[in-house]
């Protein structure tokens, strides 16, 4: 999956700069290697990007392509997410046996996901389902639908689309039903701060609307101190001069969900994201996160 999305960006750069020599470098991260271990057990932030960032810092590569939902709120001072191409579908999808919908699943049906964010929301909305931990690349997770006796798996719509598997989707899950992860559906291009040459090469890929929306979501995440392993969700949408962001924090058992919304002028996108986080923290989010972190 990572190689697919990196290849997409490389092809666009080659088309824009035909004289440029673009080389792909595959770097396996801890998250890639430890696919049979839950992210919460691996621990630490940036399990899908740390080794890649180390290569950037050493000058071994000039550009990293990440799924923004895997990027922690805090980056090394020497690095930055300089470009975000236009967002793809931010929703989650259900792929199930016999194309059953979530609301039509029988009590005790087994649904696979490796995301605490998805897990708590599913437990809150569909308490009769059994949530089964799921890791591995997309192909591995799809195969586990059969090999582990699952009734369905929940995955990111954007990843499924990039693999050309949209026809396998049983149900697209709206943000009202399952609030997406911060940055879901967005690729982030990371460079060394001050690397003007690389930035000039990739600047054409940036979508300013996506940059603002993801910036608001990441400001929300940053104030909560979260990474991709915590049960935190947020989705921002720019509407003219306004931006609206919805955020969520919940307990692992799904019994408590704090979900709120904030809006304001899009130029204040980071402040609006932080304000939403402050509101949730004051209404019990701080205690919830402290309990999860412990």
With b meaning 16 or more CB within 10 Å and e meaning fewer, what string describes 76-110? eeebbbbbbbebbbbbbbbbbeeebebeebeeebb
3-state class (DSSP) for residue 103: helix
Around Cβ 71, how many Cβ atoms within 10 Å?
26
With b meaning 16 or more CB within 10 Å and e meaning fewer, what string describes 218-241? bbbbbbbbbbbbbbbbbbbbbeee
Nearest-5° Cα angle at 191, 203 to 212: 55
Local structure of residue 281 (DSSP, 8 states): I
Give the span between the Cα atoms of 241 and 4, in whole angstroms.
Answer: 34
Around Cβ 67, how many Cβ atoms within 10 Å?
23
Active site residues: 70
DSSP β-bridge partners for residue 232:
249
Give the span between the Cα atoms of 253 and 245, in whole angstroms.
Answer: 25
Which among 86, 47, 92 has a CA at the least distance from the CA of 189? 86
Q: Cα torsion at 140, 142, 147, 153 (round to 10°)?
A: 120
Give the span between the Cα atoms of 137 and 208, in whole angstroms.
Answer: 30
Which among 217, 195, 178, 194 has a CA at the least distance from the CA of 84? 217
CB 192 within 8 A of CB 55: no
């Amino acid at each position: 999956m990572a190689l697919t999305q990196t290849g997409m960006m490389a092809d666009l750069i080659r088309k824009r700069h035909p004289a440029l020599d673009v080389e792909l470098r595959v770097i396996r991260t801890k998250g890639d290697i430890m696919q049979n271990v839950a992210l919460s057990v691996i621990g630490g932030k940036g399990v899908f990007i740390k080794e890649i960032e180390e290569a950037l810092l050493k000058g071994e590569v000039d550009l990293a392509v990440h799924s923004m939902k895997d990027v922690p709120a805090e980056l090394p001072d020497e690095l930055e997410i300089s470009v975000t191409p236009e967002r793809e579908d931010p929703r989650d999808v259900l792929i199930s046996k016999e194309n059953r919908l979530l609301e039509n699943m029988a009590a005790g049906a087994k649904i696979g996901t490796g995301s605490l964010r998805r897990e708590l929301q599913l437990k809150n909305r569909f308490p009769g389902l059994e949530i089964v931990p799921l890791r591995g690349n997309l192909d591995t997770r799809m195969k586990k639908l059969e090999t582990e006796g699952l009734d369905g798996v929940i995955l990111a719509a954007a990843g499924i689309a990039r693999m050309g598997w949209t026809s396998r989707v049983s149900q697209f899950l709206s943000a009202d039903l399952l609030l997406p992860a911060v940055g879901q559906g967005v690729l982030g291009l990371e460079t060394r701060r001050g690397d003007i040459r690389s930035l000039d090469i990739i600047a054409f890929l940036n979508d300013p609307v996506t940059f603002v929306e993801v910036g608001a979501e990441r400001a929300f995440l940053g104030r909560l101190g979260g990474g991709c392993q915590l049960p935190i969700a947020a989705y921002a949408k720019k509407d003219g001069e306004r931006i609206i962001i919805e955020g969520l924090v919940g307990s692992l058992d799904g019994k408590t969900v704090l979900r709120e919304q904030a809006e304001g002028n899009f130029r204040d996108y980071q402040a609006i994201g932080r304000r939403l986080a402050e509101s949730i923290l004051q209404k019990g989010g701080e205690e919830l996160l402290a309990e999860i972190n412990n």
